[in-house]
Every structure is written in structure tokens, then in C-alpha cells.
Chains A and B, each alone.
Chain A
């Protein structure tokens, strides 16, 4: 069998700057590196520039062997240009939104993305006609990407993998069910899971929830955690104890409204009262404030209100520059929303540095499972100011005193989470399944 052809379907792909993009980029690149011919179906560049923000440096990271097919995407509900608004939308904006949401869900039960199903499926059919596809890997959300897997399976019996970066029916923050068992979304998922070759999840709690829901298909479900990308890994050079100089506590990543930023600010103030080291230190935030390109003013206000206490917002960083930013940190701040199903992509980058990590999140959070055993990990007991302050002060002392050996142990702990070590075993298993005689074709 010649190199198999994988069709990778992801709405968010470079230059999109959303959090899930790194997994999509790395997965497509790993398929190419392991000898597959890769075609990526994604949205057009303009969509990312207009709606999510774009990071042009990410496009340079796409493997040259990958063919990227861009499918036009529109997001009328987010259209802010009044020149593009109809008279009806102007006169009755609420009614328009309500009707539009319903209309969006006619082709596929997902607000905003439903209308993308038809052009996406048509593009997939064209790709398959030009160069038959051996495997579809669709990553969600948005879940409309799964419709391509369904289509090529029903029409051409192309096997597929569902890659969940989040969950469809489960609210990963609250643990509640988002769609009833009788909903269209639930029906779609039942059908998709039943026919899938494999279903991937980012952590064990989410996989277990789905394994309970689809007991007959639990065997095909795998945890494929996120990891850090070695070529983008933060500086991991030898660090000496920081000594008595002022420290930099750093956060790098999107600050979503779920991030307990206000709780952190309260804990940070308390830590400054308790510790002269923290009182001389700064807490620097890099990344976007909110999910979209525009800064969320409420989040910015929380940081600015604490500016006298050394909290600073530094703005977004291109993926290619993050190594330099990590290089300025002495302690990393892992501030996450609550929920036992929540992990985060940035946790793996944090692990790669070997620097102390302060976990400001619910101890039941799935991120705790990843960090347990890290020699420089400082979790909080709860989100009360005293607990946060205690962890910050302990981390500051560790940054001042941790020797080379401790830091080496911390880096060795993080090295287990390299991205290729997470995804390669599954890609090789799929190759073996498609062509049992195939040899390992690492490049």
C-alpha cells in the first residue's frame, strides 16, 4: 500500500489563533511526518482575521507536505458591519437572531456552524474524487467537522476518527448534560460513535463519561492528551536559583471569562502582604483576554485595578515568540476554570520549562491529575485568598532556592508530555489497521 491519504477536518487551523489550533496543527504535522499524505479541510483565512484573531506565524509551522483546502465560512450572527445588515435585521435584531439561530441548525444541530456543513461536505467529496481518502480524522468543536466523516463513511465507506478536544453533550465546566438524549445532537453523536473506528478524548474524565454513555463502544475510545510541541518548546536551559532578585510570575494563554482572575488578584494581594519576595515581584499576563480578537474590558479592568500591586497585562504573543516569554518567568501561573473535566493546552508547555507551577484552580480539575508528582508544583486547596497566597509564597521560595537537580527532575517529569509521544501511538495503530503489512515509516 502506498502512503495512505488522511483527510483532516478542523474548523480552526492556522492562522486561527484559538486554543484548539495547536492540537490540530500538531496532529496534521505528525500524520505527515509519519508518512501519510495529508489534506486539511478548514475555514478560509478571512474568517479567522475577522472573528477569532489570526497568528500568521502559525502558518509557517504547517508541514510543507500538507495540502490545505480552505472552505468559505460566514458567521452572520457575529457580523458587525452594518452595511451588511438587512432592513429586517436592523428593525428587529432580536427576532432576526432567533430566526437565524434556528435556520443555522437546520443543516446541522450547531448554532453558527450548521450552514457550513454543505460546502464542507462538497469540498470533502471533491478531495475524495481527486485522490481517494483512506481515513478521515475530524476534530471538534465545532462538531460540524464530524459531518464530513459521516458523509464519506456513508457514501464511500471511508473509516473515520472523531477527535474531541472538548465534548458535545457534556458541559466540561459544570459536568451537566448540554443536550437531552432525544435531541438531534445526541442522535448525531450516537450514530457517529457507533460507526467510528476510534474516538479520541483529551483526558480520562471526559473519556470515562463517554464510555459510560456508549458502553458498547468504550473499547474504541482512547485518551490522546495534549502535549507540548518540541519545536515550540519554551527555553529549557539550565536555571540557577533565582536568589533575592524580584521574581516574575507569568501566565501565558487565553484568559477566558471562566478563569478565576478576580480570585487570583485577591490572593496575589494577600501574598504581597505576607511575603516580601512576592511584594517585590510582578504577575505578568500574556495572551488574549477573552475568546475573540477584541479585549474583554471586564477582564482587563481586573488586571488594571491590581496594577499598583504588580499585576500587568502584556498582550498577545505570537506562537513563535512564546519561548522568549517563558524565558522571563520565574514562576508559572496555571489559572483555570473549575470542572473535573477541564485540562488546558498550556499546562504541557508549563511542564516543559521545569519552572515552578502555581495551580490556581479547583483541586478536582483534571489538570491536577497531569501535575501530580511534579517536584515544583504548588496547588491551592481552594480559591480563597489565603490558599492562593500560601501557594504563591511557597512557589516564590522554591524559585529562589530550587537547585539544578530539582529543576532537572521537573523537566524530566515534563518530557513525558511531548506532543508526538501522545499522538504517534494512535497514528501508528491506525496505519497498522489500514494496512497490517505496513512498516513504521517515521521520517
Chain B
């Protein structure tokens, strides 16, 4: 059986070990249609990993230290000597200053609206990407792994009406154990 996992998250290699275990059959072929690169190299666990979002596929052990002088989750510090006006820095600064507003309960709806995940962008890229279409066409089962990839999975399910398309690895594992003809391919 060929399974196409659809994800917007940054998944560790151990996730694919687990996925393969849950899908049961050792000969299951796993392809991934992803917005984000995996946390570590996935090696033999995945046959094809099609990355459509920002970032690059990891080639070796990821750097544990991170960029020098900056801790994860911290906005860039502003100093006169280093001041620059690139867009990323301006956005990060604005976000930092508006943090109290964004953290307030009353602005939760606004925050959600402004912080739309990559759901739409992901589908827009998949829609026009030949390799993505081919992966979906060749798969026996489409599996959406997170909320951000529901839109893509749902549209692909409509394009391939006879193809099983499921939300969640648990449902996929159950499908793999069922007597559905696609599960025994």
C-alpha cells in the first residue's frame, strides 16, 4: 500500500518510525507532502518527501546550538550598531511590541484571524505543483496529519473521489487493518 502523509508540521524522524509501525505492513510505502522540512533526515523511512514550504531538507545532524547570539523564540535584539530595516526585523519588532494586545483574551479571535497558518498557501502550492499531483495520484491512501493540512487533504480527496482520505494517523492505522481493497495492495 502506498500512503501519502500530508503535513504542515516539522516532524521528527521518530514520527515516521511510529507511523510505519501503526500502518502495520512492513512493505508499506510512505510518501510525504509537506509544508515544513522534517526535524531530522528521514532516510529510508520515507520514499519521497516533497517540501513545498519554506526551509530546506536537513542533510545531516541538525545543529543543536541554533544561530549564534540568539535563543529560540526570542525576538532579535535591537542595537544601534546592528540596526537594519529589513522586513523580517520590522515585523518581529512589531510583534514584540504588540504582544500584550495579542495575548489578551478579548483579541483571541483577531489574533487567530491575523495568524492564519499555512493552510491556504499550502493548498495553493499543491494545486499547481505537478509532483504533488503525481504523489496524490499514485497513493492508495491520503492521510492528513494536522489541522493546517486539512484544506489540502480535503481538496485532494475531492480531486480523487474514489481514493480513501482520512484525518489522523489513528484512522489510517485502523484503515490499514481493515479489509478495504486498498489496504491489501
Chain A residues within 8 Å of B, Cβ to Cβ:
50, 80-83, 85, 90-91, 93-94, 292-295, 297, 300-301
Contact = CB atoms under 8 A, between A and B. Distances in A.
B174 A81 contact: no
B139 interface: no
Contact of B170 (A81, A82, A91, A294): A294
What 9 pairs across the A-B complex have the smallest Cβ distances?
A80-B171, A294-B170, A90-B154, A82-B165, A82-B157, A80-B166, A294-B173, A80-B167, A297-B18
Contact of B150 (A83, A90, A297, A300): A90
Contact of B22 (A83, A85, A94, A294): A294
Contacts of B151: 90-91
B164 A295 contact: no
A50 B173 CA distance: 12
8 contacts: A50-B174, A80-B170, A82-B144, A82-B154, A82-B166, A90-B151, A294-B170, A297-B21
A81 B22 contact: no
Nearest to A94: B147
Interface in B143-176: 144, 147, 150-151, 153-154, 157, 161, 164-171, 173-174
Nearest to B144: A82
Given A82-B144, A85-B154, A297 B22 contact: yes
A93 B171 CA distance: 17
Contacts of B164: 81
A93 B151 CA distance: 10
Nearest to B120: A91
A93 B157 CA distance: 16
A301 B164 CA distance: 28
A4 to B, nearest CB: 41
A416 to B, nearest CB: 39
A300 B161 CA distance: 34
B18 A93 contact: no
Interface of B, helix, strand, loop or mixed by DSSP: helix
B142 to A, nearest CB: 8
A83 B165 contact: yes
Contact of A295 (B22, B142, B157): B22
B167 A82 contact: yes
Contacts of A80: 166-168, 170-171
B interface bracket (residues with beta carbon within 8 Å of A): 20 to 34
B22 to A, nearest CB: 6
B119 to A, nearest CB: 9
Contacts of B174: 50, 293-294
A82 B163 CA distance: 10
Given A82-B157, A83-B165, A93 B22 contact: no
B150 A93 contact: yes
Contacts of A294: 22, 169-171, 173-174
Nearest to A301: B18
Interface string B6-48: 0000000000001001100000000000000000000000000
Contacts of B168: 80
A83 B157 contact: yes
Which of A85, A90, A295, A301 has the largest number of chain B CB atoms within 10 A? A90
A313 to B, nearest CB: 11
Given A83-B165, A294-B171, 13 more contacts: A50-B174, A80-B167, A81-B164, A81-B171, A82-B142, A82-B154, A90-B151, A90-B154, A91-B151, A93-B147, A292-B170, A297-B22, A301-B18
A123 to B, nearest CB: 28
Contacts of A300: 21
Interface string B42-68: 000000000000000000000000000
A82 B161 contact: no
Contacts of B22: 294-295, 297
Which of A82, A292, A294, A295 has the largest number of chain B CB atoms within 10 A? A82
Nearest to A304: B21
Contacts of A83: 157, 161, 165
B118 to A, nearest CB: 15
Nearest to A298: B18
Contacts of A292: 170
B173 A82 contact: no
Nearest to B166: A80
Interface string B123-146: 000000000000000000010100
Contacts of B142: 82
Contacts of B147: 93-94
Interface in B52-96: none
A293 B169 CA distance: 12
Contacts of B150: 82, 85, 90, 93
B20 to A, nearest CB: 11
Nearest to A80: B171
A131 B144 CA distance: 49
Contacts of B167: 80, 82, 85
Contacts of A90: 150-151, 154
Contacts of A293: 170, 174
A300 B151 CA distance: 30
Which of A50, A80, A293, A301 has the largest number of chain B CB atoms within 10 A? A80
A91 B154 CA distance: 10
A93 B146 CA distance: 11
Contacts of A93: 147, 150
A99 to B, nearest CB: 15
A83 B171 CA distance: 14
Contacts of A82: 142, 144, 150, 153-154, 157, 165-167
Nearest to B175: A80
